[in-house]
Amino acid sequence: MKKFLLHSALFLIPVVVALVALECVLRQMPNPYKSKCEWMNQHASTVQTLVLGNSHTFYGVQPQYLDGEAYNLANVSQTLREDHYLLTHWADDYTQLQTVIVPIAYCTLFEDLEHSTESYRCRYYSIYMDCDLYPCLPQYHLEVADISSAMAKLKRDTGVDWDQWGWGTAYKLANKSQQQWDNHTEAIASAQRHTIDDWSLLDANVQLLDSIATFCEQRHIRLVLITTPCWSDYYTRLDDKQLQQMYTTLRTLQQQHPTVQYLDYMRDPRFTADDFYDSNHLSDLGSQKFTTLLNDTIKTTTPPLNK
């Protein structure tokens, strides 16, 4: 038995050393979570407009085209639970914050990152953004807890694909899959993926949205909710019941919080095919166009609130 334990220890030591080394390597690789947390630690006191949300704003809103000091704190598949955490995490540091932009997509009110197919992203908030939302388990706090995703991360290009304002730069029009666009396969798949049969998360997300609105209201910060532009191949395939629930929830929120502004660009006819990277995400070209329009609308329809 002693020999077995000794041999097992001798075998495990190099494995543990290799895993520790891999964890160190992975944590040194550039990623938007770490970069955005560092930016906020340094600039939360000067930021005037904060963009939260998922890939729709990560790729769709370019802070350089917003007035004042603006920053994009969105990440791919980020849900309202992470939005609420990130907004309130630097609450004591805000001295200039005037506007918060939060996207409300077709699936926003019905999803949660931890319970999604992309739950592996939760560990990035825990590791790089000092987030305490998730259980104290290895899969939420160690990169090597999921060897497959860890190795995939190593194999991917480690170049930075976000700019100095936090906007995701990867969705360039030149990289658009024209074949998927022409045969509608991406639009069909996206509409199906975003249609949620289980609405059990709705109440929790409504409460989170109400908490975000209350946080902004108490601090005299403008809360602007937006639905970003989508292509007709996508929005014509959406479930009407789910879509109407989204609109009903937003109307109720505005009744409870009259200062909240909601801007719906989903079917905006000003956006053409080249403005889209896929059926529900803007290209770099469309992102610039959208951000400019959004900035003009916020300026002309919602005057700044006095501190």
Among residues 242, 247, 270, 258, the alpha carbon closest in space to that of 305 is found at 258
Neighbouring CB atoms inside 10 A of 38's CB total: 12
CA-CA distance, 50 to 53, in Å (whole number)? Answer: 10
pLDDT per position in the chain (307 positions), as tens? 665 555 555 556 676 666 677 777 778 888 999 999 999 999 999 999 999 999 999 999 999 999 999 999 999 999 999 999 999 999 999 999 999 999 999 999 999 999 999 999 999 999 999 999 999 888 898 988 887 777 777 777 657 899 999 999 999 999 999 999 999 999 999 999 999 999 999 999 999 999 999 999 999 999 999 999 999 999 999 999 999 999 999 999 999 999 999 999 999 999 999 999 999 999 999 999 999 999 999 999 855 443 3
Helices (runs of H) and strands (runs of E) counted in the chain? 13, 7
Beta carbons within 8 Å of 305's beta carbon, 6+ residues apart: 98, 220, 221, 222, 259
Helix residue ranges, H only, 129-175: 138-141, 147-155
pLDDT, residue 59, reads 98
Among residues 40, 35, 31, 10, the alpha carbon closest in space to that of 143 is found at 31
The pTM of the full predicted model, rounded to 2 decimals, is: 0.92
pLDDT, residue 152, reads 79
Chain-centre distance for alpha carbon 178: 25
Instruction: Name the CATH superfamily, with its identifier, for domain 42-120+160-301.
Output: SGNH hydrolase (3.40.50.1110)
Contact 169, 60 (CB under 8 A): no
pLDDT, residue 158, reads 57
pLDDT, residue 255, reads 97
pLDDT, residue 304, reads 43
CA-CA distance, 53 to 76, in Å (whole number)? Answer: 8
